[in-house]
A = this chain, B = another copy of it.
Amino acid sequence: MEFNIGLVGKGNVGTSFLQILNKKNPIIIDSFEYDIKVIGIFEYDGAIIDQNGIDLDNLLRLGKEFRSHENWKLGYRAIDYIDKINLNIMIETTPTMPQNGEPAISHILKALNNNIDVISSNKAPFYLEYEKIKKNAKDNNQLIRYEATVASCVPILSIKNNLQGNEIIGLSAILNGTSNYILSKMSDEGINFYQALEEAQNLGYAEADPNLDIKGYDAAGKLVILANELLDYNVTIRDVDIRGIENIDENDIELAKSNNQVIKHLSFAKNGRLFVKPQCVDKNSYFNVNGSLNVIELETKNTGNIVLSGRGAGGIEAASAIMNDLISILQERTKFS
């Protein structure tokens, strides 16, 4: 069975996905007998389009010079062309725009309304317009997957399928690697917030404007997706009570230490309420992880807590989640064949 794939956004995540696909495709074809072609790769200023399938070896060799590809069409924008090239699956990896989720929301809705299944690593559409996107998918009988939006390679959204015999009633999590790195550094090395932030920026963990991380907005967005997905909430980021870590000082860190605790930037959802805030946890808690690890604790009704942990960021990590979403969609779309 043939599948035409379009990639929107050729940054770190998009490129990592093409690398994994290029390597895994022979195995996928062998095991599942799918015939996958990438026929469109879109950037903000143009696209590479080839209805016969873009040669990925060739493309990946070009690296950042991909605009020199012989099929590069300057000015071809995703929003104008995704419905015109006979796509089956669109993969949205444009950068997250927290204010309005664009252009990703428009890409996603256009795909769903034009007989195209969607995979996204861009989280803003799901914490801003979850209900609308889900309704569009349902009304059009299209599939939509977004495992990479929360905790990247950790399969925390799809795990719902594996817990259908259980009952998840709440969750607590560490969902932002930058704020976790800063708090770890402050605690381990006794440096202050601004020194730790500068280190994170020098290492490339934090953006030039790190407000999304340290003020908790990034974590809150992921919390919204988790709550909608695993707890059947119907919320947006406007429903989260968000507090950042920018006011944590050395005294707070020392006070926690004296109680054998550490301060972590935790996200919670329970009883319909959502919080992101700094919180003390025991030193030997599984929330006491360093660096960019994410941790998600699922509280169940009858079987205690089930905890998942792993790398929460990175191109290859997100691409690995996208790859699983892709296989899941291919399996779903071929199950009647």
Binding site for B on A (CB under 8 A): 20, 24, 147, 152-155, 158-159, 161-166, 283-284, 286, 288-289, 300, 302-311, 314, 316-317, 319-328, 335-336
Interface centre among A304, A305, A326, A335 (most CB of B within 10 A): A304
Cβ-defined partner of A306 (8 Å) among B20, B161, B310: B310
Shortest distance between the CB of A102 and any CB in chain B (Å): 27
A159 to B324 alpha-carbon distance, docked (Å): 11
**Contacting residues, chain B, for A161 (C-beta < 8 A):** 158, 161-162, 328
User: A322 to B165, Cβ gap below 8 A?
Assistant: yes
Task: Kindly provide the distance from the CB of A293 to the nearest chain B CB, expressed in whole angstroms.
Answer: 8
A314 to B323, CA, bound (A): 35
In the complex, the answer to whether A304 meets B309 with C-beta atoms within 8 Å is no
Task: Evaluate whether A324 and B163 lie within 8 angstroms (CB atoms) in the complex, with A153-B306, A311-B304 already known.
Answer: yes
A contacts with B: majority SS = mixed
Q: Are B309 and A307 in contact, with the CB atoms below 8 A? A: yes
Nearest CB in chain B to that of A309: its residue: B307
Bound Cα distance from A336 to B158, whole angstroms: 22
Given contacts A161-B161, A166-B323, contact A310 B310 (CB under 8 A): no
Number of chain copies forming the complex: 2
Say whether A324 contacts B162, CB under 8 Å: yes
Residue of B with least CB distance to A283: B284
The 10 A-B residue pairs whose C-beta atoms are closest, nearest first, are A165-B323, A165-B324, A155-B162, A306-B310, A153-B303, A307-B309, A158-B162, A164-B327, A166-B320, A304-B311
> Are the C-beta atoms of A154 and B306 separated by less than 8 Å?
yes
Bound form: Cα–Cα A155–B158 in Å: 11
Indicate whether A314 sits within 8 Å of B303 (C-beta atoms), given known contacts A164-B323, A164-B328, A166-B324.
Answer: yes
Residue of B nearest to A336 (CB): B336
From B166, B289, B326, A165 is in contact (CB under 8 Å) with B326
User: How far, in Å, is A306 (CB) from chain B's closest CB?
Assistant: 4
A39 to B162: give the CA distance in the assembly, Å.
26
Cβ of A324: which chain B residues have Cβ within 8 Å of it? 162-166
7 A-B pairs, CB-CB below 8 angstroms? A147-B162, A162-B162, A164-B327, A165-B320, A286-B289, A307-B309, A308-B308
A335 nearest in chain B by CB position: B335
The residue in A284, A310, A321 that gathers the most chain B C-beta atoms within 10 A of its C-beta is A310
Cβ-closest chain B residue relative to A164 = B327
A307 interface neighbour in B288, B308, B327, B328, Cβ under 8 Å: B308
**What distance in Å separates the Cβ of A20 from its nearest Cβ neighbour in chain B?**
7
Nearest CB of B to A106, in Å:
26
> CA–CA, A163 to B314, complex, Å?
16
